[in-house]
Structure 1
Amino acid sequence: MSKKIHFIAIGGAVMHNLALALHKKGYQVTGSDDEISDPSKSRLTAVGILPLELGWFPEKITTDLDAVILGMHAFVDNPELAKAQELGLKIYSFPEYIYEQSLNKQRVVIAGSHGKTSITSIILHVLKFYNRKFDYLVGAQIEGFDIMVELNDDSPVIIIEGDEYPESKIHLKSKFLFYHPHICLISGVAWDHFNIFTTFESYVQTFEELADGLPKAGTIIYDETDDIAKVIGEKDRADVSKFPYKSHPYKIENGRCVLLTDKGEVPLEIFGEHNMKNLNGAKIILDRLGVTDEEFYEAIKHFTGASKRLEKLGENINTLVYKDFAHAPSKLEATTNATKSLHPNRRLIACYELHTFSSLNKDFLPQYDQKMEDADLAIVFYSPHTLEMKRLAIISPEEIKKAFGDENLMIFTDSQQLRDFLMSQNWYQTNLLMMSSGTFGGIDLNKLSADILAKDVKEEFPKVKVISQPKEDKSWSGLLSQFKKAFD
C-alpha cells in the first residue's frame, strides 16, 4: 500500500516540488494552503493534487496519514498542525523529510551565501550527462529537469542545495543542519537574511555548525579566496578531508569564457569569475563521485546555467540583455563584475531592485557599499509599497546613495519611470543587466528586452563621412586632419 502524505503549506516553491516528487513516486499526496500562485498552482493541477479550496482544514488530518510535512509558510498556531500534534502523527519539516528519505544514501550538500544553486546545477548536469543514478534537491528550475526535487529508493547518492534559511517557524534552525552530509561544500559566507541572522556572528555560526557536524571520513570543500569560508574549512576536524578551491584558469575570447586545461581549451556557455569558482568546486565534488576530468570537461561545455542566474534575455549586434536573481550584496557584486568583464569595451547599465527584508533595512544597507562599482551606469529601484508591506522604515534616495557609496547612483521608485528611462537610453555598444528576486514593480523583462533590442541605434549617432586620403599628404598630421573633418 502506498504511503499517504499531507502537506501543510503545499504551495511553496520547494514544497510543491517535493509534493510532485512524492506523487511521481506513487505516494498518495494531499495538501492545504491559504495562497497558491503559479507556477505551483498549474503544476499541482496538472497531476490532480491541487487543493479544491484555499484555507486550512483540520478534518484533512486523519490517523491514516503516514506523515505530515510542514512548510515554512505555516505558523505555529496552524489548525492542521494542532490536529496532527493532537493525533500524535509524524510531523516533519521539509529538510527533516529529505533526510528521512536519504538515510541510506551518500549525502552531498552545497552551502554558501552565493553560488550554491549554480554549483548544484553543474553537478546535476554532469551526472545526468553520463546517465548516473542520483536524487537531488535544487533551488531553481534547470534545463532538462522537470522538477526541483527527485527521490528514488535505489539512488546511491543525493545532491542537495543547502539553504541556511530556517526550516520552519517552529524551529529557527538552518535547513542545511538537518541533512547531515558526508560531503559538504561551502562556497562563501557573506551576511544575508538579516531578518533571521541579526548579527554577522550568528550568521557565521550556522555555517560552522554545518562543518562541525561532518562525520569521520567526511569531506569539506571550500572557496579558499573567501576569508570566512577558508577559516571554517581549515579548522581541524578528526578524519575529515579538506579540499580548498579557487577559480579555474580561464580566458575571455570574443565575448566568451574559455577554460584552460591540461587537455586544451574548453569553450563555455557560462561566464564570470564567480562561475569559474563554482565550476571548480563542482568539479571536486564530481571527482569524489567518480567523474574523471576528461568526462567533466566534455559535459561542462553543454551547461547553459540555472534559470534566472545570469540568464540571457536577448542580444543584437550592439546589446546584450541579462537578468539575474541577485538579491544580496555579494551576489550583486559578482554578477555586475561578471557582466562587465565579458564585454569590457561596452558600456554596462546595471539595475538592481531592493526587494528582500534585508536589502530594505536601513541597518543592513551599508553592506552594499561599492558593490556596483563595475557598472558604467548604476540604477537602484525600490517600491515604497514593498517597504510598507514589510513594515519597514521609509528609505530616502540620499540614504541609498550614501549606503552604496555612489553619489551618481540613479534611484527609481516608479516602475514605469524606470522603464521609460531605459527605453530613452542610447544602446549602441551597451549591455543591460537587470538584477532582482522581485519583479521591478511588474516590469515584463522579456518585453523590455525585445523593445530595447528593436531600437535603431544607428540614427542616434552622426553619420561618418567616407573620405579618401589625398595622395600628396600621407603624414600623421594629414591623416588626423582628415579624420577630424569626417566628424564636422
Structure 2
Amino acid sequence: MRIHFIAIGGSVMHNLAISLAEQGHQITGSDDQIVEPSRSRLMEAHLLPAEIGWFPQKITTDIDAVILGMHADADNPELLRAQELELKIYSFPEFIYEQSRDKTRVVVAGTYGKTTITSMVMHVLKTLNRSFDYVVGAQLEGFQRLVHLTSDNPIIIIEGDEYFASSIDHRSKFHLYHPNIALISNVEWDNFKSVISRDDYYNQFRIFIDTIVSKGTLVYNKEDKVLQSLVGETMACKINRHGYKSPEYTINKGITYLHNGDEEIALHVFGKFNLSNIAGAYTVCEWLGVKKQEFFDAIRSFKSSIRYLEFVASQDGSVVYQDFAHTPPKLRSSIHAVKEQFPKKELVAVIELNAYDSLNKDLLEKYVGTMDEADIPIVFVNKESFKEKGKNIDNIEEDIRISFANPTIRVILEISDLNEFLEGFRSKDYNLLFMSSSNYSGVNMVSFADKFFKND
C-alpha cells in the first residue's frame, strides 16, 4: 500500500510509520514540527520529510490510505485535499483496527493504571516467548518502540484511551478497537482536567463496554465503585465479565511479597495501585492462556512502567523514587506506598505542580491533607513557567500552604533553590520521592538523586 501520514512526527504516529515501512509499505508524511526523538528515528528510517510544513500537492490519487494524526486540525490543507479527492482517511485507532481484524485484540483502558497493566501483560508474554503485536502510549522498558505491527502475530495488546480519535472524528479512541478482551482499571472524572462533563466521561466507558465483540471478555476492577456501577448498567451486552481485586501481600525489609497460596513472590514494584494492576494483568493473561505459575514466575522480574513509582537510585540504605502523580488521590497514594514500603525511614516528598494547577484555588483545595504522611513535604512550582502566562504570583506560596493545610509544608519556586535544598540535605535515614505530571522542569532525576546523596 501507499500510505501518507498527516502529522507524521507524533510520538505514536512516527512509530507506526516506521513499522509499516518495515512491512514493505510505501510511506510518506508531513508535519509542521518534528522534534526528538521522532526526528532522528524518521531520519534513520529514511522517512523524514524533506521540508517542514503542509503540502497539498503531496496528496495524489495513487495514495491508498491517509492516516490523520491528533494534532492536525480539521482545516489542514493536506486533509482538505484528501477529502476533495475522496481518499480513504483513517484516524490512528481506525487504522490499527483495520490491521488487526484477524487478531485477538486486547485493549487496556482506565483513567489511570492502563500503561502499567499494559506493560505488565507485555512483559509476561515476552518473558514466555509469546508472539504479539502492540500499541502503547509511552516508552516501556524492554521495548524499543511504541508500535509493533506484523501480518502474522495472533495477538495485539493495545493501550486504549478515552480521548477523541482525530480532529474530524470525536469518538473516543478506544471505541474503535472492538476488543476481544477488554480491561478497565478504574474510572475517575476530574472536573479540572476533563473537557467533558462527568456523565459524558462515564458514558465513554459505557460505550467502550458495548464495543466488546459478542462473547468477548470484560476484565474489570471490582474494587472501583464507579466502574462496578457502570458494569452493572451494561448487563445487556453478551460478554463474559471477570472482576478482579487486589491480592494479599506482606512487606519485609523494603520488599513486597505477593501471596500465591503458600508461596511468597518477591516483587520489584510496590504500592496498592501496582498490586491491583498485577491482579488485572494476571486476569488478562489468564484469558490469553497463560498458566498461573507461568504468570507469577514472569511477574517477579517486572520492574516498573517508566515513572510509575520507578526506582532511580540508592545509597547506604536510602532510596530515591520518581512517580507520575497527576491527581490529589494519586499523590496521597504514592506517599503512602513509599512509607508503607519503608516504615523505618523518614520521607522527603516533592510534588511539582504545573502553573495552571497552582493558580487555581478551587483545584488547590483538592490537595488538602494529601502530603500529611510525608515527613518533609515540599511543593515545587517553577516560577519561570509563569512568565509565559503573565500571571501575578505574589500570593502563591501562601495559597499553597493554606490549600494543603499542612503547617510543615515548604514551597519552592525556583529550580536553583530546589537544587540547593537537596545538596544541603543530609540523606541518612531518609528516602526521596519526586512526583510530577510534567518533566521535572527538564532536570534529569539522576542528578536530583546525586544531590540528595551528596551529604549522606
Query: Shorter-chain TM-score: what band?
Result: over 0.9
Structure 1: how far apart are the matches of 2:232 and 2:356? 32
15 and 243 in structure 1: CA distance in 2 versus 1, 3 angstrom threshold: same
Structure 2: how far apart are the matches of 1:202 and 1:387? 32
1:300 aligned partner: 299
Structure 1: how far apart are the matches of 2:165 and 2:198? 20
**1:134–1:157 Cα contact (<8 Å) kept:** yes
1:474 aligned partner: none
Give the residue type in structure 2 aligned to 1:93: S
Structure 2: how far apart are the matches of 1:32 and 1:391? 34
**1:106–1:158 Cα contact (<8 Å) kept:** yes
Give the residue type in structure 2 aligned to 1:100: E
421-430 or 108-117, which deviates more: 421-430
**2:355–2:382 Cα contact (<8 Å) kept:** no
Look up the SS of the partner of 1:449 in the other structure.
helix
Look up the SS of the partner of 1:258 in the other structure.
strand
Q: Map 1:49-198 to 2 at 5 A.
A: 49-192=47-190, 194=192, 196-198=194-196
Q: Map 1:27-42 to 2 at 5 A.
A: 27-42=25-40
2:370 aligned partner: 371
Give the residue type in structure 1 aligned to 2:411: I
Structure 2: how far apart are the matches of 1:35 and 1:392? 28
**1:192–1:358 Cα contact (<8 Å) kept:** no
295 and 74 in structure 1: CA distance in 2 versus 1, 3 angstrom threshold: same
2:430 aligned partner: 430
How much does 1:173 deviate? 2.8
Look up the SS of the partner of 1:225 in the other structure.
coil
1:274 aligned partner: 273
How much does 1:161 deviate? 0.8
Look up the SS of the partner of 2:138 in the other structure.
coil
**1:20–1:147 Cα contact (<8 Å) kept:** no
Structure 2: how far apart are the matches of 1:393 and 1:166? 34
Structure 1: how far apart are the matches of 2:386 and 2:199? 26
1:409 aligns with 2:409: yes
1:313 aligns with 2:312: yes
Structure 1: how far apart are the matches of 2:260 and 2:430? 32
How much does 1:343 deviate? 0.6
Superimposed CA distance per residue, residues 127-182 of structure 1 (whole angstroms, 9 cap, x where no aligned partner)? 11112121111222222212111111112221111112222233333211111212
Superimposed CA distance per residue, residues 50-105 of structure 1 (whole angstroms, 9 cap, x where no aligned partner)? 22232212222222212111111111221111111111111111111111111122
Structure 1: how far apart are the matches of 2:359 and 2:286? 41
Structure 2: how far apart are the matches of 1:14 and 1:170? 18
2:240 aligned partner: 241
How much does 1:256 deviate? 1.0
**2:358–2:396 Cα contact (<8 Å) kept:** no
Structure 2: how far apart are the matches of 1:442 and 1:94? 29
How much does 1:116 deviate? 0.5
How much does 1:392 deviate? 8.2
Structure 2: how far apart are the matches of 1:5 and 1:451? 49
332-341 or 81-90, which deviates more: 332-341
How much does 1:192 deviate? 4.0
Structure having the higher Rg? 1
How much does 1:11 deviate? 1.6
How much does 1:263 deviate? 5.2
Unpaired runs of at least 5, structure 2: none
Give the residue type in structure 1 aligned to 2:80: A
133 and 163 in structure 1: CA distance in 2 versus 1, 3 angstrom threshold: same
1:331 aligns with 2:330: yes
114 and 386 in structure 1: CA distance in 2 versus 1, 3 angstrom threshold: same
**2:427–2:452 Cα contact (<8 Å) kept:** yes
Superimposed CA distance per residue, residues 293-326 of structure 1 (whole angstroms, 9 cap, x where no aligned partner)? 0110111111112222222111011421111223
Structure 2: how far apart are the matches of 1:327 and 1:405? 19
404-413 or 314-323, which deviates more: 404-413
How much does 1:111 deviate? 0.7
165 and 355 in structure 1: CA distance in 2 versus 1, 3 angstrom threshold: farther
**1:186–1:221 Cα contact (<8 Å) kept:** yes
Give the residue type in structure 2 aligned to 1:398: E
391-400 or 263-272, which deviates more: 391-400
| RMSD over aligned Cα atoms | 2.3
86 and 213 in structure 1: CA distance in 2 versus 1, 3 angstrom threshold: same
**2:191–2:197 Cα contact (<8 Å) kept:** no
Unpaired runs of at least 5, structure 1: 458-488
Look up the SS of the partner of 1:141 in the other structure.
coil
Superimposed CA distance per residue, residues 415-448 of structure 1 (whole angstroms, 9 cap, x where no aligned partner)? 1112212222221111111122322323232212
Look up the SS of the partner of 1:35 in the other structure.
coil
**1:192–1:203 Cα contact (<8 Å) kept:** no
- Output the TM-score relative to the length of structure 2: 0.93
328 and 65 in structure 1: CA distance in 2 versus 1, 3 angstrom threshold: farther
Overall identity of the aligned pairs, in % = 45
**1:357–1:390 Cα contact (<8 Å) kept:** no
18 and 431 in structure 1: CA distance in 2 versus 1, 3 angstrom threshold: same
Give the residue type in structure 2 aligned to 1:66: D
Structure 1: how far apart are the matches of 2:304 and 2:65? 35
How much does 1:362 deviate? 4.6
**2:181–2:216 Cα contact (<8 Å) kept:** yes
Give the residue type in structure 1 aligned to 2:376: L
How much does 1:255 deviate? 0.7
Candidates 22, 34, 37, aligned match of 1:24: 22
Structure 2: how far apart are the matches of 1:406 and 1:95? 45
1:255 aligned partner: 254
How much does 1:284 deviate? 0.5
Look up the SS of the partner of 2:442 in the other structure.
coil
Candidates 220, 223, 235, aligned match of 2:221: 223
Superimposed CA distance per residue, residues 335-387 of structure 1 (whole angstroms, 9 cap, x where no aligned partner)? 22222221112111121222386776554444434333332222222235545
Structure 2: how far apart are the matches of 1:201 and 1:433? 35
Look up the SS of the partner of 1:167 in the other structure.
strand
Look up the SS of the partner of 1:124 in the other structure.
helix
